[in-house]
Amino acid sequence: MTTDKELADLIFPDVSETIDDLEARYPARNLKEGAEVTRFAPSPTGFLHTGSLFTSMVCRKVATQTGGVFFIRLEDTDTKREVENSRTILFEQLKSFNIIPDEGYFGNEEKGLYGPYVQSKRADVYKVVIKHLIEIGRAYPCFCTPEELDEIRKEQEEAKLLTGYYGQFAKYRFISNDERKALIESGKPYVIRFKSLGNHVKKIKVHDLIHKDFDIAQNDLDIVIFKSDGLPTYHFAHVVDDHFMRTTTVIRGEEWIASLPIHLDLFEALGWEPPKYAHIPLILKLDEEGHKRKLSKRLDPEAAVSYFIEEGYPSEAVIMYLMTIANTNFEEWIFQHHFKDMDQFEFSFDKMSSDGSLFDINKLTFFSREILANYTKSEITDAILEYAKKYNKDLETLIENDRTYFEEIMNIERERDNPRKDYDKYSNIYDSVGFFYDEIYGDLISNPSILPFNHEKFSNSIIKEVLQALYDNINLPDEESDWFANIKKIGGSIGFAENNRAFKENPDLYKGVVADVAEILRITLTCRKNSPNLYYVMKVLGLERSKQRIAHMISLL
Ligand code: GLU
């Protein structure tokens, strides 16, 4: 009679290592009390989802905050679903958000003592554990063909039973080792299945750091742990890897909650203590009817991390925004800390909503404006240049041709206590600053009929009168207040009230208010209704260029 041990040797004749050898190869980590070992475990099956960036941010934060270790493991056992280049892009994207692991796989390099960190290179480790499970009678070869599996499913559906390979339906559970041996020797293809002792009618109590305590049906599926391609399945690889990589807290997407009983079943069979679990809720979005739904790759550009990179949201802003989703108290904290020193914030799973949070692009834009306003002129120029090199060659040229001039533009009302928040994302910068460059300004102004003058209020002849008075009298003193006093004076000289109150008291007396004069000047100098502070715009352009633009506009109208 073939024993379990003999069957295990027949299946894995070359595996001589034992579980104890693995325990010695991957010793317990020598970390201080409370230090958490976390991991981000992406599969190279496509683009980096915003939810995955969110998860990786939480992993990084928890490890940093507790003085622990954060590592990355590439889960590439599903070779059929692998998307070309995605493993490289994934890591470039993580890097751009400063999600850098302490150890593990990172693009083309790997570091750390618990590797390899790429699952396809860990077959020898999995084989040792599977051999052990066969030896102790908790795993067996299954020779089911897809047709047989189909039949089982149909039978279960007809009997209105739970579908799957379990209990009496797990047909290759019941054959003898001699029969198994004969089938293997006859060359019949097989996979290895775990032998569960559970019963799905029973409930088990589980604890999740976010979802807290709940009951869930016990596992009784004899899941495939080793596929015919020689690689393990996710469930099995997760258990083995997180055990031997000494992960203390598994932080992963909520979609894995349903699989938790399988994982706990495997941990129990192996006699290993499971890690803590934190299942991160989905990021949601409101649809047109106001219903919450999952961020969708097909419908929502912001579901892909590449969107934020291509649109040019500063990575800090994205991370800061995601932290507001992660912890309900973060927003107030970061306001108090003037959008700085995010590392000092104490993250807590207790402050994470278990229901899923709504993604709000307006709030992200708000953070983006804050971050960009708080950069020095040189920092923002560096960041924009880096973006422009990849996504906007014209912008790159503008900056490279005269960096000092670009910095002057960026420096308008910056580096002060309450800096102006003129910019939201890098992809809008070219359009925002174009008018500072004579060539672009020339293009903008070539069609004066589309300039945003308020023709309902002012005819061309009044606009011209305003511009002529400005041309004749405008100056550029050292103080903004003197400059504005002069604009008021110029307005006054041609019938514009100094302020709204004066205008409202005697509307018939005036053509408009000084704000109208400023708007006409703004549109003339910038071709826009919104621009940075006009006085400083003139400072950058200089008095002569400003006057030339005024004269040119007069000639066009
Ligand atoms: N490779 C799995 C995924 O990409 C990871 C799940 C986990 O973190 O354990 O969904």
Q: How far is the CA of 43 from the centre of ligand 1 (A)?
A: 7
Q: Give 137-151 pLDDT, tens digit per residue.
A: 999 999 999 999 999
Per-residue pLDDT of 286-332, as tens digits, reads 888 888 999 988 889 999 999 999 999 999 999 999 999 999 999 99
Average pLDDT rounded to a whole number, residues 480-494: 97
Q: Report residues whose beta carbon is within 6 angstroms of any ligand 1 atom.
A: 41-43, 75, 238, 252-253, 256
Q: Is the pLDDT of residue 109 over 90?
A: no
In this structure, what token pair is assigned to residue 232? 């393990």
55 CA closest ligand 1 atom index: 8
> Span 246-252, mean pLDDT?
98
Closest atom, ligand 1, to C-alpha of 242: 9
Q: Which atom of ligand 1 is nearest to the CA of 256?
A: 6
| Phi, psi (deg, nearest 5) at residue 139 | -155, 155
The residues, any chain, with a CB within 8 Å of residue 99's CB and separated by 6 or more, are 40, 53, 56, 57, 60
Helix or strand or coil: residue 421?
A: coil
State residue 493's pLDDT score: 96
Q: How far is the centre of ligand 1, averaged over its atoms, from the C-alpha of 152 (Å)?
A: 29
Please list, in sequence order, all residues whose beta carbon lies within 8 angstroms of the beta carbon of residue 220, skipping any fewer than 6 positions away: 166, 167, 196, 198, 199, 200
- Residue from 75, 105, 266 to probe ligand 1 pocket by mutation (most atoms less than 8 Å from CB): 75
Of 315, 311, 285, 309, nearest in space to 297 by CA: 285
Share of the chain above pLDDT 90, in %: 90
Q: What is the DSSP pairing of strand 357-358 with strand 249-253?
A: unpaired
Which segments of 95-157 are extended strands (E)? 103-106, 109-111, 139-142
CA of 235 to the centre of ligand 1 (A): 10
Inform me whether the pLDDT recorded for 66 exceeds 90. yes
The atom number, within ligand 1, closest to the CA of 238 reads: 9
Q: What is the mean pLDDT of residues 204-228?
A: 97
The answer on pLDDT for 106 being more than 90 is no
Instruction: Give the pLDDT confidence score for residue 46 in this predicted structure.
Output: 84
**Rg for the chain (alpha carbons), in Å?**
33
Kindly give the distance from the C-alpha atom of residue 20 to the centroid of ligand 1, in angstroms, as a whole number. 27
CA distance 536 to 224: 68
Contacts with 286 (C-beta within 8 Å, 6 or more apart), sequence order: 292, 293, 358
Residue 167 region by backbone torsions, left for phi larger than 0, else alpha for psi between -120 and 50, else beta: left
Q: For the chain, what percent of residues have pLDDT higher than 70?
A: 100
448 falls in which pLDDT band (50, 70, 90)?
confident
